[in-house]
Chain A
């Protein structure tokens, strides 16, 4: 006699399950099947909802099982009917239109969109992206011209929705909570390329976006984010994750964790009941991608028909279903715990490939822009075969492997018309011709052909062409290109700055991709440099990255050898007041400051301050009007002065006043290395201005501005920049010089080193002789200062910063003592 089988849920997993059960190899059981579905239609390919939304296909094309199929297989359909509960004792499923008895029950209720718990999340116009009704709700808005959508969530689903709505002509903005898109499948480099592609399509993407509320009267009108920005919206798509739909199972008393817990044969805690699909949890994991769900369907069908089958946690791969975006991700996407990575970037083509290797086996694959070899890599990942033999050429895929182990052989085999330098369109033949005409090193080839002159990504390839062409005459040591700033890159500081400017790169991942970084997230050498270059180049657009700052600049104090800090408040031009001194003395006592030292920069250094006291001591100093002296910064440090014409019988000008004015203009600015100034009121030079980065010596005739002095490991007198009778012009000259330094020096290079490299004539031509250029430099400095002329201590001492940064995460001292 046929047994009663009831299935709750008519999604993709249950559709495949029905096929496996009734049509598949293991078919043969005698089942009387009833299929409940909450949606008014039968099984369809939910994955294809993205192309439906984008208008690439019709819904009809997604239907996997029609009425004829159900009829032919004797499946009783109860579509559009909600199951209210499961009566386990009576072995009945209670639907809205009556009960159905079961011998075996399959729960395949799928998942639902997580509605993030913020105000307005239930307003009309807020939709998830799970089923056809969601798509219809979105299309209803998208059909009206000039409508705007905000997608909350930059994961797979959110981005598919965003791309589809954009294709429908909507204005689309994606708000993503995390630091980069699809953070579960992509690293920052791949996510950068994806974001660039989406932005190229007119989709605005905002990461680190905390949605705070959805606003609207009777219908959604805007989304408010934590930064106070209001994003107008006629439609809000919630794509902040999915949650297994487990209500029926919970009510029925089945074991449920995140999903309905099942064993290897999809059986729940009740032997009569199976669960499969997104609602199920196997070995602590719920799956949201279709491949493992199909596996579950196969296992469940065999189990019901009494055959051997077991579900094993699969290796999952991800692709994004946005046409024109090639992206593949599988396994470990980051190299950690003893794993290593091979990174390949082709900046010109927007290609990024990364393999994570563990014990000579592929443990992870990440590909963007060119996924042609993904299947080949994925096969190797799944089989776990050793790749030790082909490691050197592995990243080139099957083609590279076929060419043999020697990369030079691959280069030798390239035809003459093969492009080597994508930026400048230089092919192998042109480079060979240049070599035969006498170019014997990469620099000469660059000069002759332009190859590797732009992004530099092909420098290695150029060298290989050189080696292949010259054969025995090739001198590798002589040909070595200038070393990169760190092992992450072959590029020097100047090339990096040029690329940032020329390509308008505005984030660290952008630079790393476009300049072909060899690591995925840089190191302690390149990251601070990139952070500075980006900040200097794009003061308004780029946001400082504290995690790419050296400790002192991140904590706005100087770390000492015992882990305590020194605190140096600013004393403008070296001038202070009794009230300031009292505040400093009070703070020193209150926080048990062991050492107070007067610095050479005319201010007071409080040494030995505990980290946790920093925000408090700053708040106290702020209350007395004192701000950060940036004694820790690659930035403006001090402007030392003498008392000048105000008191000194030899003083010629108001050197103190000029010093204060300069310091008020310059403070807070970040520079390639520290910058110190001084203003002396007469040639006796009590402020020691002639060994500073910028030193002004006042005379009866006005101001003599010298630059590029030094009094550190090297001692060097300043070189004269200009003389002027006008104080404002003296200020402009100093500011313009510092801006020129900010824009051109290498990170970590003091002004005297930089000037030694570029020459005083070069500097004078830009700062002194060309008044228009000087004004432009001053204007650019001012623009930057509109952002950075601010007290970091006040910012860091805000109450909300304490739990976020300064307090320990937890204090277990008491627990451990028990």
Chain B
């Protein structure tokens, strides 16, 4: 079961940028790539907890602002030799609006 809720317009996120959504279990970062795809990941780098939403977005990856870990937006996996994985969340783009699955977000363990 999913429960899609309207979060914001695509244009509320700059291309190659990110914004956050606050949840009880911590922030979820919504990324918009240069080709207008949207990804949702926990806003915490698996390395030292850096806010991924503040990283530089390139291709379908983001570089953590604290220690330059590169995280794949689709899989949440750290790239290259680095280890670790960030939780990803279901997100949909419909008619320029970004939708998140509230049910899945609620089921998340609180951080």
Query: Could you tell me which A residues sit within 8 Å of B by CB distance?
Result: 179, 183, 187-188, 333-338, 519-524, 527-528, 546-551, 554-555, 559, 561-563, 611, 804, 808-813, 815-818
Contacts and interface: CB of A to CB of B under 8 A. Distances in A.
A335 B60 contact: yes
B55 A546 contact: no
Contacts of B78: none
A519 B59 CA distance: 8
A334 B33 contact: yes
A288 to B, nearest CB: 16
Interface in B24-58: 24-25, 27, 30, 33-37, 48-51, 54-58
B54 A816 contact: no
B22 A551 contact: no
A547 B17 contact: yes
Contacts of B90: none
A524 B66 contact: no
B40 to A, nearest CB: 11
B37 A336 contact: yes
Contact of A815 (B55, B73, B102): B102
A555 B22 CA distance: 19
A808 B19 contact: yes
A815 B106 contact: yes
A562 B37 CA distance: 29
B58 A524 contact: yes
B19 A809 contact: yes
Contacts of B37: 334, 336
B56 A527 contact: yes
Max chain B CB contacts within 10 Å: which of A549, A808, A813, A815? A808
A58 B71 CA distance: 55
Contacts of B61: 523
B15 A547 contact: yes
Given A338-B75, A522-B58, A547-B56, A187 B24 contact: no
Contact of B74 (A336, A520, A554, A563): A336
Contacts of A804: 12
A519 B60 CA distance: 11
Interface of B: 5, 7-8, 12-17, 19-25, 27, 30, 33-37, 48-51, 54-61, 63, 65-66, 68, 70, 73-75, 98, 100, 102, 105-106, 108
Contacts of A554: 54
B22 A813 contact: yes
A150 to B, nearest CB: 22
Contacts of B68: 524
Contact of B12 (A187, A336, A337, A809): A809
Contacts of A519: 58-59
Given A519-B59, A523-B63, A550-B56, A809 B35 contact: no
Contacts of B63: 523-524
Given A554-B54, A555-B54, A816-B106, A808 B27 contact: yes
| Residue from the set A523, A549, A559, A809 with the largest chain B CB neighbour count within 10 Å | A809
A815 B65 CA distance: 29
A188 B108 CA distance: 37
Q: Which one of B27, B30, B66 has the highest number of Cβ atoms from chain A below 10 Å of its Cβ?
A: B66
Nearest to A523: B58
Given A550-B56, A559-B66, A816 B14 contact: no
Given A527-B56, A551-B65, A812-B102, 12 more contacts: A334-B60, A336-B35, A336-B37, A336-B74, A522-B58, A524-B63, A546-B14, A547-B15, A808-B20, A809-B13, A811-B22, A813-B22
Given A521-B16, A563-B49, A334 B56 contact: no
A816 B65 contact: no
A187 B14 contact: no
A521 B58 contact: yes
Nearest to B43: A563
Given A334-B34, A524-B58, A816 B23 contact: yes
Contacts of A528: 56
Contacts of A611: 51
B26 to A, nearest CB: 10
Contacts of B19: 808-809
Given A550-B65, A809-B30, A337 B15 contact: no
Nearest to B51: A563
B65 A559 contact: yes
A187 B35 contact: yes
B47 to A, nearest CB: 11
A276 to B, nearest CB: 23
- In order of increasing CB-CB distance, the 7 nearest A-B pairs are A524-B63, A551-B65, A334-B35, A816-B24, A524-B56, A547-B16, A336-B60
